[in-house]
Amino acid sequence: MPSPEAAVQTPARAKAIPLVNLVALHARHAAEIAEVVDRVVKTGAFVNGPDCAAFEREFAAYQGVRGAVGCANGTDALQITLRALGLGPGDEVITVANSFVATAEAIALVGATPVFVDATEDTSLMDPLAFAAAITPRTRAVIPVHLYGQIAPMGEILAIAKAAGLLVIEDAAQAHGASLNGRKAGAFGVAACFSFYPGKNLGALGDGGMVISDDEALLTRVRSIANHGASADRYRNEILGTNSRLDTIQAGVLRIKLRELDSWNRIRRERALLYCEELRGCPGLSLPLEAKGSVSAWHLFVIRTDKRKELMSALAEEGIATGIHYPVPVHLQGAFAPKNGKPASAPVTERICDQILSLPLCPEVTEEDVVRIASVVRKVMEQR
């Protein structure tokens, strides 16, 4: 019997662990995916084929809303929703500085002005007090982001938005299947926008996106804008639209993967809780926190530390990939820095961006992987 010490020296220990392992995940569904491609090729229904409507129905039902409209990607889902709601030049739309850049991009691309607010220390999500303080007479809407898979504090955000007469649009690109007090994304705002970028909890074999809502009139406008502003009569274009549709092949693949989503999210959750168990009490480390009533989709497992650089290189030496989501707060990005005047102040977000580190988390990460990764993290953090 080799001692545990000796086992540690075997080549198995050098196994590389990617942040997300999409190759292994799709390999298990190769036959079903090939069937989808074959079916679409044989029918020739590449755009707007039967899988598109079926996936919209199935995803809407999964999230617990009345309807959905597929589009080309998550950024378009946000942009088209804003346009369908009539938002544009002169309107301010509040969002968080701590997000992927696409949220602010969508606001700016419709000609509205993104106004950035800070996050709270514990969850890294929108700080409702900062949101309330940022409202001006020009504010028309707010886009909370369900970052890292956790629903933003929607109780507080909805109350503030209602009192100020603002539209609420959820950026749910990282939160397929997440819930807060039993309600999933789409149950809070006038609409929720999803991305099916390959690395998301539910990802296509390329780009994809979706708008979901209970408001059928809104969804009709979204569908029209996503399809050249066409009405029921294809060649009558009453409103200015664009071309942003979800491909039939992607919709077909997403239908297959949707059936696995709950079980994948369950594995993510188990691995996340195991990380927390293995890393509890580790000096100089903050672990991610789920708010009360919140069930995160655990899109990312994000820790915080001042020893990020050391930790990243120690993990890299062991073949363990890490990521930073995201290194530059959006209000400090060149594309969003005010031309004249000071950028918005978001000190918590700036601190978060300097300290965060994402550890490998996806349905392919095993318990053994988590234990091994956590032991490397512990070793670095316990060095004085």
Ligand X SMILES: *Cc1c(COP(=O)(O)O)cnc(C)c1O
Residues of this chain that bind ligand X (CB under 6 A): 73-75, 99-100, 102-103, 145, 171, 173-174, 195, 197, 207, 209
How far apart are CB 16 and ligand X at their closest, in Å? 25
Alpha-helical runs (H) found in the chain: 4-9, 22-27, 30-43, 50-63, 74-84, 102-109, 128-133, 154-164, 216-226, 248-258, 261-279, 308-317, 347-355, 367-382
- What element of type H or E holds 170? strand 167-171
Comparison of 209 and 252: residue with beta carbon closer to ligand X = 209
Whether 185 and 170 have beta carbons less than 8 Å apart is answered as yes
Comparison of 190 and 374: residue with beta carbon closer to ligand X = 190
Comparison of 300 and 374: residue with beta carbon closer to ligand X = 300
How far apart are CB 9 and ligand X at their closest, in Å? 39
Comparison of 103 and 314: residue with beta carbon closer to ligand X = 103
Least Cα distance to 212 among 68, 22, 347 occurs for 68
How far apart are CB 195 and ligand X at their closest, in Å? 3
- The rounded distance, in Å, linking the Cα atoms of 79 and 344 is 23
- What element of type H or E holds 209? strand 209-213
Comparison of 145 and 161: residue with beta carbon closer to ligand X = 145
SS3 content of the chain, % helix, strand, coil (to 5): 40, 15, 40
How far apart are CB 106 and ligand X at their closest, in Å? 8
Q: Please state whether the peptide bond connecting residue 235 to the residue before it is cis, i.e. omega within 30 degrees of 0.
A: no
How far apart are CB 111 and ligand X at their closest, in Å? 19
Comparison of 125 and 314: residue with beta carbon closer to ligand X = 125
Which residue in the shown chain puts its C-beta closest to ligand X? 74
Least Cα distance to 161 among 126, 111, 199, 205 occurs for 126
How far apart are CB 188 and ligand X at their closest, in Å? 16
121: left (phi over 0), alpha (psi -120 to 50) or beta: alpha
Comparison of 194 and 275: residue with beta carbon closer to ligand X = 194
Phi and psi torsions of 170, nearest 5° = -90, 130
How far apart are CB 363 and ligand X at their closest, in Å? 18
